[in-house]
Structure 1
Amino acid sequence: MKKIYLDIIDPIHDFIRVYDHELSIIDNPIFQRLRRIRQLSGAHLTYPAAQHTRFEHSLGVMHIASQAGHALHEKGILQSDDIEVLRLAGLLHDIGHGPFSHLFEEIIQEKKISHEDFGKEIILNSEIGDNLSKNSFDKKLITRIAFGNSKFQYMNEIVSGALSADMMDYLLRDGYFTGAEHAKIDHKRITQSLDVHKKKLALERSALYSFESMMHSRYQMFKAVYFHKTVRAAEVMLIEALRLADDEFGFTTFNLNEFVKLTDEYVLSTLISSESSKLKRARQLAQDYQDRKLLKCVYERILTSQTNLKKTRTDELRNEISKKSKIAENEIFVDSSVTPSIPLAPSKNESKSIILITSENGKSSAKEMPISEIPVVSAISGFMNILRIYTHQNNRKKVEIAAKSILGELK
């Protein structure tokens, strides 16, 4: 009898089972492109082993979404067909990521586009979607679940949100490959404890400690890895290089055929090999990034405001610091890194509560608990918001003095 699946060895989940219809998507060049997009963009320059990619993360999300689906199937909530759809939505949730992952997102957000827009386009209007249709799957439904806007809210939440397969895999995987000890989470306990109440994803109260631990792990990973000052130094350089070169190369134009060619190394080599006189600065930044000649952080401040500084404000700061330090504006970099301490719901609104299920004497009751009432989680709720000023080594002292003078009173 012919085997209809393949087991892929994975350091996080041991084995990830992939079925024939999924393998035909994974083997498609559009999906294979994810092998050439690092999960953590420039973090490998600080954490050398962080070379993992969107490819294996996508497999991991499919795997955890499948575990969650099976747990809900055993409780009579999902059908077998629903699990298949969940698996495919998890597999394809990152298909629209551009080079350098969230760095590229920072650029395209300025044009009111997101990786989800590219993802929808790829699933609906490429060979990926044709493949889904050929195997009798509803590509529109899979797209809606993958990007959090289907009518089945609990299925959206399994892929993205505070109890999502996406977050569980990236915390485990990023923690493993960076060596950070903060990301130990009991994802199996959480997935086995999932339930549904009034079409929303819920959690058995007995797993609340595991949820608290996961939220704390995420918070620590942002502080120690994602917003690490040296990680951001590398990323700030790349963002600037991409902005400077975008008019020339059209990296962020919404053209699917061009977009699927974009990978980390393709973009970096395009920047470095450019001979355009207009791109001298972008070329130098890309070369310095590749050679790990990184910017130096001369000022850091944790802000209490909930939103990152608008580009006009960062431009103003850059100008003020330039005048005071007498260092050219293009030698000064203002970085405002912000994230909600608790992950956003699929609706992109802040998660305010969690539904807990309590079972006693064979009866179940549900309670919607505000995040503010969960001690460990409430302590970190709000926004993590860090303002930093970077410059090159030789300007360090002058820019530092100017930044401290100007930003001393900033709240």
Structure 2
Amino acid sequence: MFANQLWSTDKESRIQFNMAQQRIRDPLHNLIEFKVTGDDELERTLWRVIQTRPFQRLRRIKQLGFSDFVYPGASHSRFAHSIGVFHTARQLMDVVRTVDGRSETRENRALAAALVHDLGHGPFSHAFETVGKRLGLKLADHEHVSDLLIRQGQVADILNNELGSGFAIDVADMVKKEGRVTVHNAVVSSQFDADRLDYMRRDRLMTGTQHAAIDFAWLIANLEIASLPTGVDDEQTGTVDTFVIGPKAIHAAEAYVLGLFQLYPTVYFHKTTRGAEKLFTELLVRIVTLAKNDSAAQTGLPDRHALIKFAINPDDLDIVLCLDDAVIWGALSLMSEAKDPLVSQFATRLRDRKLYKCVDVRARVSHEFDPESKGEAEHLAKIETCCARVNEKLTEWTKANSEDIHRVLIDEAERSPYKDDVGSLGRINVRTDGNNFVDLKQRSRVVASLSDFKLSRAYHDCNDVDAGKTIDSIIEGEVEACR
């Protein structure tokens, strides 16, 4: 009898414990827990935010867009990333408390901001933003949409009702980097913010790349809080508390900078991923343009399709919430039968992964002017000039020789491995043994020697022999002209 009563009590305790928290099994962080009963009002509220339509939509938006064309495992969502950022923010908050103590209101704002910072991303994320910039569509800007979704609607109602009137506005301001800046802002936006610390490790894990490994545990163990001067140029306007690293973590910080930089050429700027993004961008630009010009019938999509509705009413936030990766993938078969040749061909190419062939313009030009990769200023200047002239000539040629479909797609991008020109908050500060703070570049020859990563590429149909020969001819001609 006693044993049965004991078992019953233990079972009831387990049930109560399970009801007291919700757990998410995450491939990076393992168990992420939310206390949904008891005194933890914040986590109970944020769990409700996760159940809202805007947040659940992030399940249908992949973190890395078309990267699974290259890395099949890279199908993780912005939903998983956002929850991972929240979990990482809780770990960073432990660092903050060692110096600042417990400031519940500011902590709550930062943790909420970490969770909802990505709400506004559209289908295929940054490629969708490129479409928005080309066509002047405000609601294609993920930061703008995130701001709206946090300040109004379901998310705002839950935050304000549970955590106090105006809480949603405070969270939106923190995401937008507005309002009073405290050390808690560093959790949301800094060189060591929760967003970057999650996506670097998550993207590496899910792609399977062996580059970009960081010693997260050692970095966290050596993160400190310091009051650093702010201002413009040499004029100090005030101070702000933010994250710095101790002297024992210099090598870990080097690996952190290198890891982020390595992700760009190997993952984010991979030629295949970028090639798919170029096709996607031109496809959506044509869809929106046709729909706005009363030619939606040319797209193969019905009038009630979310893409057509967005094209006609691009300022309707509710329509934007209907857009996600699944909507695009589901529409490709319809668009492949479109009357418009570009829509039909590009939709078919994306559906079947029949992408344009890539010609690495910069690699070929660099080989001509700097075959030993010495990086001398004279050679680098010629490379820049030549690449710019090649792109200019290719743009002119494709405009003159493309009727319905772009025969050459040009891709240019640049990424700095480490930015140190935006004041003390924009760089990694290292505490010296004498308790001074210096830029990581001053302590690391590795970081100081890094140069910007730049790409210049041209894409064309592999069956378009004339376009391929034209690209080769223009590159050869401009190399000779720049010698």
TM-score bracket relative to the smaller structure = 0.7 to 0.9
Matches within 5 A, 1:67-216: 67-110=91-134, 111=136, 113=138, 114-137=141-164, 138-152=167-181, 154-198=183-227, 199-201=240-242, 202-216=244-258
SS at match of 2:355: coil
Using the TM superposition, give the Cα deviation of residue 6 of structure 1 relative to its aligned residue in structure 2, in angstroms.
1.5
Between the aligned partners of 1:53 and 1:265, the Cα distance in structure 2 is 12
The whole-number CA distance in structure 2 between the counterparts of 1:108 and 1:222 is: 23
SS at match of 1:394: coil
Alignment CA distance shift 1:343-1:140 (3 Å): farther
SS of the residue corresponding to residue 463 of structure 2 reads helix
Provide closer, same or farther for how the CA distance between residues 66 and 406 of structure 1 changes in structure 2, counting only shifts above 3 A: farther
Q: Distance in 2 between matches of 1:30 and 1:106?
A: 22
In 2: Cα distance, 1:237 partner to 1:124 partner: 34
Task: Give the conservation status (yes or no) of the 8 Å contact 1:356–1:368.
Answer: yes
Alignment gaps of 5+ in structure 2 = 1-15, 35-42, 228-239, 292-307, 367-379
Bigger relative contact order, structure 1 or 2, given CA contacts below 8 A and separation 6+?
1
- Which has the higher mean CA deviation after the structures are superposed, 313-322 or 214-223? 313-322
What is the alpha-carbon distance in structure 2 between the residues aligned to residue 410 and residue 26 of structure 1? 56
Shift of 1:96: 0.6
Equivalent residue number for residue 8 of structure 1: 24
Gaps of 5+ in 1: none
Taking the aligned partners of 2:411 and 2:334, their CA distance within structure 1 comes to 27
Structure 2 residue 426 is the aligned partner of structure 1 residue 357:
no
| Pair 1:330-2:406 in alignment | yes
Match of 1:56 among 80, 86, 101: 80
- Please name the residue that 1:283 is paired with: 344
How well do the aligned residues superpose, as a CA RMSD in angstroms?
3.2
Letter in 2 for 1:186: D
- In structure 2, what is the Cα distance between the partners aligned to 1:294 and 1:378? 38
Taking every aligned residue pair, what percent have the same amino acid on both sides? Answer: 26
Please say if residues 162 and 344 of structure 1, whose CA atoms lie closer than 8 Å, have aligned partners that are also in contact. Answer: no
The count of corresponding residues between Structure 1 and Structure 2 is 399
Partner of 1:22: 46
| 1:395 corresponding residue in structure 2 | 464
Q: Which range moves more in the overlay, 111-120 or 48-57? A: 111-120
Q: Which sits farther off after the overlay, 226-235 or 267-276?
A: 267-276
Cα deviation, residue 153, structure 1: 5.1
Cα gap change, 1:9 to 1:185, in 2 (>3 Å): same
SS of 1:176 mapped into structure 2: helix
Residue 68 of structure 1 contacts residue 192 of structure 1 at CA under 8 Å; is this kept in 2?
A: no
Q: CA deviation at 1:385?
A: 1.7
* Shift, 1:15, TM fit: 1.3
Q: C-alpha displacement at 1:37, in angstroms?
A: 0.4
Distance 1:352 1:134, change over 3 A: closer
Q: Offset at 1:342? A: 2.5
Does residue 246 of structure 1 match 2:288?
yes
**CA 1:225–1:275: 2 relative to 1, 3 Å:** closer
Match of 2:299 in 1: none
Structure 1 residue 350, shift from structure 2 partner:
11
- Return the letter of the residue paired with 1:330: H
The alpha-carbon distance between structure 1 residues 75 and 47, as it changes in their structure 2 partners (threshold 3 A), is: same
Q: 1:391 offset after TM fit, Å? A: 0.4
Which of 356, 361, 380 aligns to 2:450? It is: 380
1:26–1:32 CA contact under 8 A, matched in 2: yes
Moved more, 56-65 or 281-290: 281-290
In structure 1, what is the Cα distance between the partners aligned to 2:398 and 2:424? 36
Moved more, 230-239 or 33-42: 230-239
Residue of structure 1 in register with 2:360 after alignment: 299
Shift of 1:188: 2.8
**Is residue 340–residue 350 contact of structure 1 (8 Å, CA) maintained in 2?**
no
Letter in 1 for 2:196: M
TM-score (norm 1): 0.86
Contact 1:148 / 1:157 at 8 angstroms: preserved in 2? Answer: no
Pairwise CA distance, 1:151? 2.1
